[in-house]
Structure formats: C-alpha cells, structure tokens
Amino acid sequence: MPNPHPYDAVLLLSFGGPEKPEDVVPFLENVTRGRGIPRERLEQVGEHYFLFGGRSPINDQNRALIEALEAELAGQGLDLPVYWGNRNWAPYLADTVRRMKDDGVRRAAVVATSAYSSWSSCRQYLDNIGAARAGVPDAPVLDKVRPYYNHPGFVDAVVDRTLDAITDLPEEVRDAARLVFVTHSIPTRMNDESGPEGGSYLAQHLDVAAAVAERVEAVTGHGRDHELVFCSRSGAPHVPWLEPDVNDRLEELRAEGVPAVVMVPVGFVSDHMEVVYDLDTEAMATAQRVGLPARRAGTAGTHPRFVTALRELVMERAATERGEAPRRPAAGDLGPVWDRCAAECCLARTAVGA
C-alpha cells in the first residue's frame, strides 16, 4: 500500500479567474493590486475575457484536474482529499486553508498549476501560502512540491499533444514544420533572479523544449528545428521583457520561408486565457494573415500521464519528508529541481500586470 505520510490532503494552488462578466474587472484589480494601474487599462484588458463570455477557462479546467487527480489517488488506494485554493479569485487560498483546518487537515502537499521557477511562477505562490497560513491559527503545514517542468509525466503529455498537432497539419508541410515553444514572458530581471543562481526560468524552458523536440523526432523519424518564443507581455514599455514575441516571430518565420509551425504552449499547464486568447486568437490570426500554416498543440491538462505525474510528485515529497531518498525522475539535462527553495531563490519582484 502506498504511504502518503505525513500528508493527509493535497492542495491544488492556482491563479484563479473570473466566472462571469461582472467578475472581470474586480479580478484584474486583484491581480494588479498595488501597481497603480488605471481602471480604464483594466477594462481594456478585460475585453479579452469578454470575447469568451466574461469567463476564464482556468477554473473549469482546475475542476476537471481535481476530479482526475482524485480518481488517480483513489485508484492507488490513497485516501487523500484534494482541496483547491486560488491567488486572485474564489475559492481564495486563505478561505481554503481555513476550511482545511476546520476539516482537521494537519499537513498537505501543494501542487501549483505552474511548472517553472521564477518569482511569479513559484516564489509568489510560496508567499501566498505563508500569508494564508498566518491568518489561520494552527493552520495545516503546506509543502509545495518541486517545480515539475521536466518530470517525465509532464513531458510525455506535451509530446503527445505536439504529435497530435503535427498530424493535423496538411501532409505536404507536416514533416518540415517548425516547433515553436511558447511561454509567458516575464521581465528580464525576473528571469535573471530566478532560481538560486539566476536564469532558471529561461534555462528550464529551453531544457524541456529540447527534450520534447528530441522525443518528437524519435517518434516521427523527422528532425525539425525548434525555438522558444513568448506571449502575454504586459507592464511598462520601458521595462525589458523576454523576447521574441510569438506574433513577431511568426511573421519572421514566414518571411524566412518556414513552411508551417506548431505552437507548443509548454509554459502552461492548461488552456487558460493566455492560451485561448494570446495563441488561439491573436497568434493564429497572425499566422493566417501572413499565410503560414499553423496548429496549436494542446496543453497537459488532464492527460493521464500528467495526472499520474502529480500523484508521483506528492508521493515523492512525502517520502522525502519521511527522511527517505526517493527516486526523483527528470527528463532533459538539468536534473530534478530542489524540493525546498533557498532563501535567495527567485527574489525579483518586478511587477507583472496589465
């Protein structure tokens, strides 16, 4: 029987998103609080949500992931309830921690819907956990599992989604399609200070992109170029962010004679707003305008290998906390990420906002 000790629950920790049109601007105010962004700018950004009925897809995707993870845990004989808390919208993390305490939870493994190291994708979630626990007397202990961008289960899911997208391209361009890996841009300073020694956010994306491309080549028998681009840049124009932007790069690739592309949103766990708007809406429109055949690969979502990977990460961390030395699988060249972030890890607090 698998041993989950010392954990008696799992917490899915996510960003949150509006559920209806009237939620949109209040949600964006939560996201950008303290940055002095005018309401009219938030209303402009909100138009992206109104194209989809004023509802972010992330919450429904989290509900589906929770259901899949509960089934995965139960299938392994693990009696671990799965809770859900968000940073920026209901169910708020602080409320969830309070409910966990009332339910008698003493210690939980935390799975964030973000796979990489940086202030916004890891350290800020740790800060959120600390603040939520501080507001609940005798709050449960919450241990965030390691960044899992290179866990073989996540990589397997991305490879499968990429192969599906390649197969959907016209046959005459399929074998020469460029793999364009996409992630959320962040300020260059934030990348420079990500991880204990800096540069982890970019390095991790490049590492997993290479691992996925290698696997795709092994399956298809065709080597193909690949690269990393960025989407969802926001903030003040004078602040440098990671580039190139996906739309700019699609135009350049067409001019260079690339016959087709598959956009692989490797930086995202599920098809939330940065995927369905920035890629499916804007980037696909750019590709169509310049005459570049393009497909967008799916995200890991509820792919069975990804769901299994989350269960494996919980059990790996449980064994570590028991003082054991569990196997810590990792694809690519960088190896498994640390379990506990060092005090100096990911300290850049450059604002990311609308």
How many other C-beta atoms can be found within 10 angstroms of the C-beta atom of residue 217? 14
Residue 231 sits in the same domain as residue 312:
no
CA gap 328, 317 in Å, rounded: 9
Q: List Cβ neighbours of 211 (8 Å cut-off, separation of 6 or more).
A: 150, 155, 331, 332, 333
DSSP string, 172-229: HHHTTPEEEEEEE--BHHHHHTSSSSS-HHHHHHHHHHHHHHHHHHHHHS----EEEE
Q: Which of 8, 19, 188 is nearest to 100 (CA)?
A: 8
Q: Give domain status of residue 341, yes or no.
A: no
Exposure string for 224-240, b = 16+ CB within 10 A, e = fewer:
bebbbbbbbbbbeeeee
Q: Give domain status of residue 204, yes or no.
A: yes
Residue 139 sits in the same domain as residue 189:
no
Residue 177 sits in the same domain as residue 285:
yes
| Dihedral of alpha carbons 203, 336, 181, 212, sign | positive
Q: Give domain status of residue 94, yes or no.
A: yes
Question: What torsion, rounded to 10 degrees, do the Cα atoms 16, 20, 21, 23 define?
Answer: -50
Residue 123 sits in the same domain as residue 161:
no
Residue 189 sits in the same domain as residue 286:
yes
Q: Do residues 113 and 13 lie in contact, with contact meaning Cβ atoms separated by under 8 Å?
A: yes
Q: Give domain status of residue 182, yes or no.
A: yes
Q: Give domain status of residue 109, yes or no.
A: yes
Residue 157 sits in the same domain as residue 292:
yes
**Predicted pLDDT at 353:** 39
Residue 123 sits in the same domain as residue 246:
no
**How far are the Cα atoms of 31, 133, 348 from residue 266, in angstroms, in the given order?**
23, 31, 23
Task: Note down the domain range covering 31.
Answer: 9-148+302-321
Report residue 179 CA to chain centroid gap.
19
CATH code for the domain in which residue 179 is found: 3.40.50.1400
**Predicted pLDDT at 348:** 53
Residue 222 sits in the same domain as residue 316:
no
Residue 287 sits in the same domain as residue 315:
no
Q: Give domain status of residue 62, yes or no.
A: yes
- Look-up: residue for tokens 């973000």? 114
pLDDT, tens digit only, all 354 positions of the chain:
799 999 999 999 999 999 999 999 999 999 988 777 788 888 888 898 999 999 999 999 999 999 999 999 999 999 999 999 999 999 999 999 999 999 999 999 999 999 999 999 999 999 999 999 999 999 999 999 999 999 999 999 999 999 999 999 999 999 999 999 999 999 999 999 999 999 999 999 999 999 999 999 999 999 999 999 999 998 778 899 999 999 999 999 999 999 999 999 999 999 999 999 999 999 999 999 999 999 999 999 999 999 999 999 999 999 999 999 999 999 999 999 999 998 889 975 544 433
How many residues does this entry show for the chain? 354
Peptide bond between residue 244 and the one before it cis (omega within 30 degrees of 0): yes
Residue 119 sits in the same domain as residue 176:
no
Q: Do residues 211 and 155 lie in contact, with contact meaning Cβ atoms separated by under 8 Å?
A: yes
At 10, which helix (H) or strand (E)?
A: strand 9-14
Residue 222 sits in the same domain as residue 113:
no
Backbone phi, then psi, for 108, in 5-degree steps?
A: -135, 150
Q: Do residues 194 and 118 lie in contact, with contact meaning Cβ atoms separated by under 8 Å?
A: yes
CA gap 66, 333 in Å, rounded: 30
**How far are the Cα atoms of 8, 13, 37, 106, 259 from residue 143, in angstroms, in the given order?**
12, 11, 33, 11, 46
Q: Give domain status of residue 346, yes or no.
A: no
**Predicted pLDDT at 97:** 98
Looking at residue 245, what DSSP letter applies?
B
Q: Which of 65, 57, 105 is nearest to 84 (CA)?
A: 65
Specify burial of residue 320 (Cβ count, 10 A radius: 0-12, 13-18, 19+): middle
What tokens were used for 342?
């060092």
Q: Give domain status of residue 228, yes or no.
A: yes
Number of domains comprising the chain: 2
Residue 275 sits in the same domain as residue 306:
no
